[in-house]
Amino acid sequence: MEAVPRYTPEQRVRMSLAPPHEPTPTRALRRRHSDFGDHHASPGCDELIVMDDLETLQRAVLRANERGLRIRVRGRGHSMNGSSLARPGELLLTTASASRYRLERPGTITVGAGAAIYDVHAMLRARGLGLLVYNDGDQAAPSVGGYVSAGGFGEASDVHGGFWETVTDVTMVAGDGRVLDCRPGDALFPWLFGSMGQLGIIHEVTLRITADAGAVYPLGERGVVPASAPRWERLLWYTIFAPARRGAAAARELGAIGRRFAHLWRARPDYAYNLRFHRFNPPLIHPAQEDLVAVGVWGDAPGPEGFDHEAFRAVDREVMAMLRRNPDLRRYLQSELTFAGLDHRACFGAEVHARFLEHVARLDPRGVLRRF
């Protein structure tokens, strides 16, 4: 079934009539922005829209449609592909202040898209609770909205599956300004994970959580997730998703690529994450509905000058060649350094790519959120 708004009639009328005028608050943005690893930078833009509530978000999207502008969404800036950096003539929308939470249904938390996954988990742990799946690294890296948009996973994914397996509700504003509430069972729901926000801008997410023995769920508690500062590192990685039965072979092939280009970075040990299948795998992550494994190679910048991006184009070509040789593998391009001209059809597979573009055309007909 199609995802539909689940709001009161009064809310639906008020939201659908939200005027496409200047969203508030706004302010000039002149400072430099960069993405994770400092791979790309932007001098900033003339206007920053702060997403404080759902109405502000919807007005921003309607205004962008009216003016024929694209929107850049920036949460924690934890991406390597420059997708969160402002371009001339675009609106930059930040979710940084969208970090409110509600504990209103036992076994779940509803939290704003801008809160860092790590911070949400840390706040819950202080109450004897916790997220089922959260990012590694012991720092406030991706936001909740970013983790949905990229399709995140972590160490606990060998038990609970990818982050998508823990999500019970996503409220967002589609590219055409409609407010949608998406849940498991909706046709659109699996396509949100890995879509990089091209189907809608996420407002808040409801997640299943775990509890220690004896912990009391603080029903009715609400507030703001305490924010901690991330520690930015000069890193770069390549990750491949494979069916679990193909994980060892994929790790060997990707590891061989990493060793051939060992002179380009200070390599760290290769990694592998098991992703247990429960309800579904997002098509944009991997179309196989079975256990997956994510294997990868990664490393640090070799010096203060950073990575040689031109040299890493050769690595990119090797990884893409690996995908073409192995049509049952998928690249985690949502979290990686990518280059102009990337063949998204080859990355996702022809059928998945075509179906994704159909969803984009229906939800964002003017390309306000379009990235690939």
With a cut of 80, say whether residue 40 has pLDDT above it.
no
- Please identify, among 48, 67, 96, the residue that sits at the C-terminal boundary of a domain: 96
Share of the chain above pLDDT 90, in %: 67
With a cut of 70, say whether residue 29 has pLDDT above it.
no
pTM (2 d.p.)? 0.88
Distance CA 148, CA 193 (A): 5
What is the 8-class DSSP label of residue 4? B
Whether the Cβ atoms of residue 89 and residue 68 lie closer than 8 Å to each other: no
Whether 67 is in a domain gets the answer yes
Amino acid at 157: S
Q: Is 186 exposed, middle or buried (0-12, 13-18, 19+ CB in 10 A)?
A: middle
Distance CA 277, CA 147 (A): 18
Distance CA 214, CA 345 (A): 50
191 and 267: one domain?
no
291 and 321: one domain?
yes
Distance CA 145, CA 172 (A): 10
Whether 3 is in a domain gets the answer no
The parent domain of residue 351 ranges over 235-358
Q: Tell me, what CATH number does 204's domain have?
A: 3.30.465.10
Task: State residue 24's pLDDT score.
Answer: 31
Split into its structural domains, the chain has a count of 3
224: left (phi over 0), alpha (psi -120 to 50) or beta: beta
Q: Which residues are CB-neighbours of 21 under 8 A, at least 6 positions away?
A: 59, 63
Q: How many CB atoms neighbour CB 42 within 10 A?
A: 21
Confidence of residue 46 (pLDDT cuts 50, 70, 90): low
242 and 307: one domain?
yes
Task: State residue 19's pLDDT score.
Answer: 30
Pairing of strands 71-74, 91-94: parallel
Whether the Cβ atoms of residue 240 and residue 249 lie closer than 8 Å to each other: no
104 and 91: one domain?
no
Distance CA 10, CA 249 (A): 56
Whether 244 is in a domain gets the answer yes
Coil, helix or strand for 117? Answer: helix
Q: Tell me, what CATH number does 304's domain have?
A: 3.30.70.2520
Whether 291 is in a domain gets the answer yes
Whether the Cβ atoms of residue 331 and residue 323 lie closer than 8 Å to each other: yes
Q: Which residues are CB-neighbours of 123 under 8 A, at least 6 positions away?
A: 101, 225, 226
| 181-92-102 Cα angle (round to 5) | 40
Confidence of residue 132 (pLDDT cuts 50, 70, 90): very high
218 and 242: one domain?
no
**CA 151 to chain CA mean position, Å:** 6
Whether 363 is in a domain gets the answer no
pLDDT tens digits for range 289-330: 999 999 999 999 988 788 888 899 999 999 999 999 999 999
pLDDT tens digits for range 326-367: 999 999 999 998 888 889 999 999 999 999 999 999 999 999
In sequence order, the β-bridge partners of residue 72 are 92
pLDDT tens digits for range 177-187: 999 999 999 99
Q: Give the H/E segment covering residue 181.
A: strand 179-182
The stretch 9-28 carries a mean pLDDT of: 31
Task: State residue 47's pLDDT score.
Answer: 66
Whether 364 is in a domain gets the answer no
241 and 327: one domain?
yes
